């Protein structure tokens, strides 16, 4: 399983260097029905002119382009080459690019972030790295902030057969979220054939964490689209 500083993405970047935007080889949210629904229900509703958003692992910007209406967009990645590629595709003075150590957020003020988004990254991160990220994300949030992550579900055959996918699953992620002081807002465990998605926030007084953790807020069609 690749570690947090694995050069897997650099190798893929070199291979796909001629593509118009690095990351589109895994699907375009403007045309792929599954990704369209992620865009429309897990991303766009949380971007406003007042939003400060953090994107973890932005690639070439296939998701960042839907964040450009935000007040500030902070993208973090442990590889300068990825951030340079992102700058090649996304030209906006609202974007701040930060080189991190694989799990931290250097220079991002505590309580200053409204929304954290990551897709296509946590599927490759082992449990201990996910936990480190969860620990480091929490101080950035205020009580109304939200976090969206896609993660690997190794109980699904498509993830089980893929060495690059981490050995995580919904029960494990729910347990981590609870232990690190988060409450699930909604989750989807069926739309994607190799992974799951979860939207969560800081736990506040009176929150009761359900082990099943499901408060569905998505349209039924998102649960039916399978790859």
Q: How many domains does the chain have?
A: 1
Concatenated DSSP letters for 66-104? Answer: GSTTSSEEEEEES-HHHHHHHHHH---TTEEEEE-SSS-
Q: Supply the pTM of this predicted model.
A: 0.85
pLDDT over 90 at 49, yes or no? yes
**Radius of gyration for the chain, computed over Cα atoms and rounded to the nearest angstrom:** 16
The mean pLDDT value for 62-80 works out to 98
Residues 74-111: pLDDT tens digits? 999 999 999 999 999 999 999 999 999 999 999 999 99
**Residues near 74 by beta carbon (within 8 Å), at least 6 away in sequence:** 52, 53, 54, 55, 95, 96, 98, 105, 108, 113
Structural domain includes residue 1: no
User: How far is residue 192 from each of residues 33, 66, 155, 225, measured CA to CA in Å?
Assistant: 11, 21, 12, 7
Structural domain includes residue 74: yes
Which is it for the CA torsion 112, 3, 6, 168, positive or negative? negative
pLDDT over 90 at 11, yes or no? no
Look at residue 26 in the predicted model and tell me its pLDDT: 80
CATH of residue 116's domain is 3.40.50.150
Structural domain includes residue 124: yes
Adjacency order of strands within the sheet including 72-77: 95-99, 72-77, 52-56, 113-118, 141-152, 195-202, 182-188
Look at residue 8 in the predicted model and tell me its pLDDT: 59
Q: Residue 215: which H helix or E strand, with range?
A: none
Domain with 187 in it: 8-224
Structural domain includes residue 3: no
Considering the chain, what is the average pLDDT of its residues? 88
The answer to whether 122 and 149 have CB atoms below 8 angstroms apart is yes
Structural domain includes residue 2: no
Structural domain includes residue 81: yes
| CA distance linking residue 183 with residue 214, whole number of Å | 10
Residues 194-212: pLDDT tens digits? 999 999 999 987 776 554 4
Strands 141-152 and 113-118, bridge-based pairing: parallel
Residues 122-145: pLDDT tens digits? 999 999 999 999 999 999 999 999
Structural domain includes residue 61: yes
Structural domain includes residue 164: yes
| CA distance linking residue 193 with residue 158, whole number of Å | 6
């Amino acid at each position: 399983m690749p570690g947090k500083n694995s050069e897997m993405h650099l190798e893929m970047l070199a291979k796909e260097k001629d593509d118009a935007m690095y990351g589109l080889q895994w699907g375009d949210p403007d045309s792929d029905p599954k990704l369209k629904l992620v865009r429309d229900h897990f991303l766009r509703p949380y971007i406003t002119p007042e939003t400060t958003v953090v994107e973890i692992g932005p690639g070439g910007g296939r998701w960042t382009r839907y964040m450009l209406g935000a007040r500030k967009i902070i993208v973090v990645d442990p590889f300068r080459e990825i951030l340079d590629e992102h700058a090649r595709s996304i030209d906006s003075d609202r974007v701040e690019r930060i080189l991190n150590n694989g799990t931290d957020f250097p220079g991002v003020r505590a309580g200053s972030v409204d929304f954290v988004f990551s897709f296509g990254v946590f599927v490759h991160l082992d449990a201990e790295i996910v936990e480190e990220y969860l620990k480091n994300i929490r101080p950035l949030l205020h009580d109304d902030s939200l976090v969206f992550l896609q993660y690997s579900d190794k109980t699904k055959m498509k993830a089980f057969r893929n060495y690059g996918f981490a050995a995580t699953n919904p029960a494990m992620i729910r347990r981590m979220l609870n232990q690190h002081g988060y409450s699930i807002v909604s989750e989807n465990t069926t739309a994607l054939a190799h992974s799951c998605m979860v939207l969560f926030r800081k736990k506040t007084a009176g929150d009761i964490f359900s082990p099943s953790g499901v408060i569905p807020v998505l349209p039924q069609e998102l649960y039916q689209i399978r790859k």
